[in-house]
Amino acid sequence: MLSYSDIESDPRVRREIDWLVSDGWTVDTIGLGAHPSDSVRDHFSLAAPDALVRSRIGTLMAHILVPARLRFRLLLTRRVPTEVVHRIRGGHYDLTVFNECEFAPWVEDRRDFTPAAMQGRRHLDLHEYHNPDVRRRNLGGRITGPHYRWTRRHIGSSAFTSRSVVNTPIGKLYADEFGIPIPAEVRNAPPFVPGLEPSPVDPSDIRLLFHGLPSWSRGFTEILAAMRDLPERFSMTFMLTANPAVHAKLREDLATHPARERIHIVPPAPMREIAQKINPYDIEIVFYRPTGINLQFAMPNKFFEAAQGRLALVVGETATMAPIVREYGHGVVVPEFTWESLRDTLTDLDAPAVERMKARAIVVAEKLNSDSEGRSFLAAIAGSDKNGASS
């Protein structure tokens, strides 16, 4: 399992490890950070970057002067421990899972992916959509952009035997661009949490929640504006992971907010305890303005985690989340991506309505969880996805 992340705190990669182990695989990992899980046999941390690219100037010169494949080795594959390289070259692994596309060009390096290595399977999990233009916004982006786009082109490599992605609409974008079968849909649903009941709803304090990654692109502006006009029966909690700049701006805005006594910021929950920690709340707000492809087709972890916590949901009118909310009735859909529409939708909710939606969340938790998504992931590796398309 290859991942350019701290695997211990990467929920999608952790779930993939669990699925593989439950299917009988012995899993080794390469990534950042410490040994991620007791279910992992051997973990290998990436070494520090090559001395040539440790400085900003050296990195920029590498991007300007060094050919793409050699640059990729300097930036990444030289950091892979020698023991792992020898195992791959010798065909030690029956399956190599590439998470995201940072490692993707490695699959075509015949020094390491030898004929013996190519006897195994090679799966690429793309997670979300990688925008080819994302690195063009500043001088550094213009300099590093060509390498990013060169790396991204390997998504379509015929060396991959299967692929998966967070949802089918994003998968279709990749299929159209690269001429590949639609990658298997593997959504970011956490494990089912048995025995957890919805918490009671206090009519005088309906508790709204946003938990997870702090970002102004994730509806913070609209939530704060709506809270100015919402009835006093609503309170709002931000349960946020670390991001000093966003935390500082949020606290600055709250200092003069008219509803500041009803708005709270609390520490994040441990990944394995999210359902239990969010259970006392009532409504999760997932209100992302569709300002980019990933926001347009977003299906974030919190969307599924909210059901495991037995919370109701408020979502925007999206092609991905809104149909599920309407199907199961465990939330409401905001018709427009404005703070006024969010305010009006919430104002129409009372305690009995929220209790009904929270009760429906139990059904969603039982049906949409990592067990069902794990079956899709393992089926993709075996050679077919939900649509029957071979990758």
The reported pLDDT for the residue numbered 386 is: 40
The reported pLDDT for the residue numbered 136 is: 57
3-state secondary structure 289-331: CCCCHHHHCCCCHHHHHHHHCCCEEEEECCCCHHHHHHHHCCE
The reported pLDDT for the residue numbered 379 is: 96
Q: Report mean pLDDT in 10-residue bins for the chain, 391 residues.
A: 94 94 98 95 94 81 90 94 97 97 97 97 93 70 87 96 95 96 95 96 98 94 98 98 95 97 96 95 97 91 97 96 97 98 98 98 96 95 54 40
Whether residue 221 lies inside any domain: the answer is yes
3-state secondary structure 143-192: HHHHHHHHHHHHHHCCCCCEEEECCHHHHHHHHHHHCCCCCEECCCCCCC
Residue 151, both tokens: 């790396």
Same domain, 132 and 241: no
Same domain, 217 and 329: yes
CA–CA separation, 353 vs 144, rounded Å? 51
Same domain, 228 and 241: yes
- Whether residue 79 contacts residue 73, with contact meaning beta carbons closer than 8 Å, is answered with no
Same domain, 21 and 166: yes
Same domain, 172 and 288: no
Helix axes 321-328 and 351-367, enclosed angle (nearest 10):
110
The CATH number for 91's domain is: 3.40.50.2000
- Whether residue 306 contacts residue 278, with contact meaning beta carbons closer than 8 Å, is answered with yes
Same domain, 33 and 127: yes
Residue 372, both tokens: 């069902």
CB count in 10 Å sphere of residue 243: 13
The reported pLDDT for the residue numbered 135 is: 54
Whether residue 201 lies inside any domain: the answer is no
The reported pLDDT for the residue numbered 56 is: 79
- Whether residue 359 contacts residue 366, with contact meaning beta carbons closer than 8 Å, is answered with no
The reported pLDDT for the residue numbered 388 is: 37
Closest Cα partner for 209 from 315, 283, 266, 265? 283
Tally the C-alpha atoms within 13 A of residue 91's C-alpha that lie toward its C-beta: 6
Same domain, 114 and 211: no
Q: Locate the DSSP E strands across 73-142.
A: 95-99, 121-125
Same domain, 287 and 357: yes
- Whether residue 130 contacts residue 351, with contact meaning beta carbons closer than 8 Å, is answered with no
Whether residue 312 lies inside any domain: the answer is yes
Same domain, 235 and 246: yes
- Whether residue 264 contacts residue 237, with contact meaning beta carbons closer than 8 Å, is answered with yes
Please give the residue range of the domain that contains residue 27.
2-189+371-382
pTM of the model: 0.86
Tally of domains within the chain: 2
